[in-house]
Amino acid sequence: MFRLALAVLGVAASILVPAPAAAADETPGQVLILLDTSGSMKEDDGTGTSRIAAARRAIGKVVDAAPDDARIGLRSYGGGCRDTDLRIPIGPLDRAAVKERVAALRPRGDTPIAYALRKAAGDFQDKAGGGVEGEEERTILLVSDGEETCGGDPVAVAEELRRRGVEVRTRIDVIGFRVDERARAQLKQIAKKGGGRYVDAQNGAELAGRLRRATERGLRGFSPVGTPVTGTPDTQGAPLLRPGAYVDELPPDRGAERPGRHYAFDLPPGATAYVGVRKARSAPLGRPAVIGAGLSILPPNAPGHCQTTEATTNLPSGGNAFAVGQVQHTAGSGSPTGNCDAPGRYYIRVDNRTDDPQATPATIELTLIVEPRASNVSALPPPATELGPVDPITPGTPVRIAGSASYGDGPVLEDGRTYTDTLIPGEEAYFRVPLRWGEQLAYRVDLPALSDADRKALGGATLKLSTSILSPENPRVLGGNLTDDAWRPDLGDRPQTFTGATVPVAYRNRESGQDHIREAGIPGYYNVWVRLYTDRDSPYLEVPVTLTVDVRGEAGAGAPVYDDPTGLGTPEQQQGLAPLPAPTPSATPSPVSASPVAAPRPSGGVPPLAIALASAVAALLAAGTALLVVRRRRRAG
């Protein structure tokens, strides 16, 4: 029985360890390679090899480099004017099957681009089981060595696909493989009307590189992270959230009418709620926009709001961006009306805002951290007063890594390591670094000088870098004496190096009047954010970005002692940086308000089943221990 108790305790312990926030759709994007197999693909690729042989090798390299969970499909077109076949449906990646099907392709006949594009639009998978579909990227990657030869209008088809309802998220990127000027002009228009980019490949090696990069870009799309939840139009019946990460859809922005979504949470005496919202959008080339979201904390059963903000960002032409916002509120911190002073059940409201009202919903990521009251504030170190000098960072040998287009699921970087990624204008990437109390993040970004080919691709546009550090609840916490353009350097003829740092994470930093110090007042995953953009429509060029991270300070220094009677856990535990404490009768979560509301299980939360199981295990373990003691006493007698 004692062995049984230990075995069950092991199972219970595994349940009680908080799981990190999961992506609502674990694979960010879907890519369909639409490959030209017309008769002209028999011709030379410029190196003595046929174009179709070069394409076979290029696709082989793409699937070899793709992650195991990538969703990549293959459709070919060529022969008669209605000859197009789905060779590999979009689904779990089977590298051997892709290579086998590609090896069997034989060039012949005409080039029905328009017809193939229309068929390709139906090849994408809908989200299984419904739920939040989000801003998932669907990329048609068209490879052609010539123009349409069947009388169709592929430019009009591309524009139609971009306009159509759910296909609004379908982008058409185009690679012209040794094309002449007439074909290039048509293919560029297909990419432009399809919301994508055009790039040339003059030989097989260039085709392999361009194809791999375009595929990576398609797979890097926004992947919302969190537990799906459905907010309500008003506070009545709003879902009750425990600390964690959530995903929902906001109704379309109708201009003057901005319908919102509401969520409830319980705030114990003296506790502080941190609420963050992130909204992602992408824009086709030639259509920059401003996107945003309104975020408010509403008081229990009273009009008005306790805290409110509007998160906005400029969405670059042809690129992706996040609007991020954060509000926080402490029970008992005081308010003009007194409605926000008491502990109780508070509400979150989020609404959709943009300068271009849209007919489709907008996906948001919502995070909630509820920090219990600290009982030893006066004994904690005072807030930082300035960043101070940052010791130089020496890069090491870089390791290739793919940053995420999503805030919540970026790769976790290790202290002292150097990484490299490749970005194109209009892209941004996120990388996570865990920081605990007393730790400070410093980082360095290195970019090479622009080549003659880069400057030609820019066509007179100025290439810029934006980079910063974002705290767990969203705000920028990059320290130092920064001018408005200090974190937006222009890239040019010389290599560029940018360095930045936070102050050490400390509880009393929240008392500071300086934003970058005040917001470094809670441990968790800090995001290093890097974005490339231009002052004109985004051209295609690949820019290697090298990133070195250095975590300094003593982990755990200055950690507060929390008074946590409701068993919320510390901010580190709520974010998955440390296991939640084993629940006890006094630490079993209970709502502050008496009105019962069914709550979804949040990421990192403790489900009721786990609490019940832990209680049963405790009783079983106690019984087993008592039995063992009795047996030993009998043997001793």
CB 413 within 8 A of CB 549: yes
Q: What does the buried/exposed string (b/e) look like for 608-630 if buried means 16 or more CB atoms within 10 Å of the residue's CB? A: eebbebbeebbebbeebeeeeee
H or E stretch at 352 = strand 344-354
C-alpha closest to that of 407 among 5, 13, 21, 4? 21
Q: Cα separation of 133 and 116, whole Å?
A: 25
Query: Do the two domains 227-375 and 381-553 of this chain adopt the same fold?
Result: yes
The torsion angle over the Cα atoms of residues 23, 25, 26 and 27, rounded to 10 degrees, is -140
Adjacent-strand bridge partners of 80: none
- 29-219: which CATH architecture? 3-Layer(aba) Sandwich (3.40)
- The alpha carbons of the chain give a radius of gyration, in whole angstroms, of 27
Instruction: Yes or no: say if 243 and 604 are a contact pair by the CB < 8 Å rule.
Output: yes
Q: Backbone phi, then psi, for 412, in 5-degree steps? A: -85, 120
Q: Are residues 534 and 450 in contact, defined by beta-carbon separation less than 8 angstroms?
A: no
CA dist 532 and 11 (Å) reads: 46
Query: Are the C-beta atoms of residues 538 and 321 closer than 8 Å to each other?
Result: no
What is d(CA 463, CA 541) in angstroms, rounded to the nearest whole number? 10
Q: Is the pTM of this model over 0.85?
A: no
- Cβ neighbors of 95 (< 8 A, separation 6 or more) are 63, 64
Task: Please tell me the distance from the alpha carbon of residue 26 to that of residue 320, in angstroms, as a whole number.
Answer: 19
Residues 6+ apart with CB under 8 A from 366: 226, 229, 241, 245, 246, 247, 248, 263, 275, 276, 277, 348, 350
CA angle 613, 616, 620 (to 5 degrees): 135
Determine the pLDDT at residue 605: 35
- Quick one: pLDDT at residue 138? 85
Strands 418-423 and 399-400: parallel
- Fold category of 381-553 in CATH: Jelly Rolls (2.60.120)
Quote the CA–CA distance of 298 and 351 in Å, as a whole number.
13
- What's the CA gap between 215 and 422, in Å, rounded? 13
The per-residue pLDDT for 132 is: 35
Q: Can you tell me the distance from the alpha carbon of 369 to that of 328, in angstroms, rounded to the nearest whole number?
A: 9
Helix axes 113-120, 154-163, angle to 10 degrees: 20
Q: For 375-505, list the strands marked E by DSSP.
A: 399-400, 418-423, 428-435, 439-447, 463-470, 496-501
516 Cβ contact list (under 8 Å, min separation 6):
387, 476, 477, 478, 479, 480, 502, 503
Quick one: 12 exposed, middle or buried, by C-beta within 10 A (0-12, 13-18, 19+)?
A: buried
- Give the model's pLDDT for residue 409: 78
Pairing of strands 463-470, 524-534: antiparallel
Blockwise average pLDDT, block size 10, the chain, 637 residues: 30 29 49 95 92 94 86 94 95 91 94 96 68 60 95 94 62 91 92 83 86 75 79 94 90 71 94 88 56 86 86 58 78 72 93 66 87 95 86 92 79 95 84 95 93 86 86 67 49 85 94 88 92 75 92 94 92 86 45 29 33 36 36 36
Task: Determine the topology of domain 227-375 in CATH.
Answer: Jelly Rolls (2.60.120)
**Dihedral (Cα; 249, 253, 258, 262), 10-degree rounding:** 0
**Whole-angstrom Cα distance, residue 162 to residue 172?**
9
Domain borders along the chain are 29-219, 227-375, 381-553
In whole angstroms, what is the distance from residue 225 CA to residue 411 CA? Answer: 13
| Nearest residue to 284 via CA among 322, 314, 320 | 320
- CB neighbour class for 565 (10 Å; exposed up to 12, middle 13-18, buried from 19): middle
Please report the pLDDT score of residue 194 as a whole number.
Answer: 86
Looking at residue 593, its pLDDT comes to 30
Q: Which residues contact 637 (CB under 8 A, 6 or more apart)?
A: none
Pairing between β-strand 170-177 and β-strand 198-201 as defined by DSSP bridges: parallel
Q: Report the C-alpha gap between 38 and 31 in whole angstroms.
A: 21
Reduced to 3 states (helix: H, G, I; strand: E, B; else coil), residue 615 is helix
| C-alpha of 112 from chain center | 37
Among residues 573, 607, 575, 574, which one has the least CA distance to residue 588? 607
Length in residues, the chain: 637
Task: Report the DSSP beta bridge partners of residue 473.
Answer: none
Say how far apart CA 245 and CA 274 lie, in whole Å. Answer: 12
- Cβ-contact 461, 489 below 8 angstroms: no
Rounded Cα gap, residues 200 and 177, in angstroms: 6
The helix/strand count (H/E) of the chain reads as 11, 25
Tell me if 156 sits within 8 A of 164, measured CB to CB: no
Show the CA angle centred on residue 487, arms to residues 504 and 322, nearest 5°: 90
First to last CA, the chain: 22
Burial group, residue 490, by CB count within 10 angstroms (0-12, 13-18, 19+): exposed
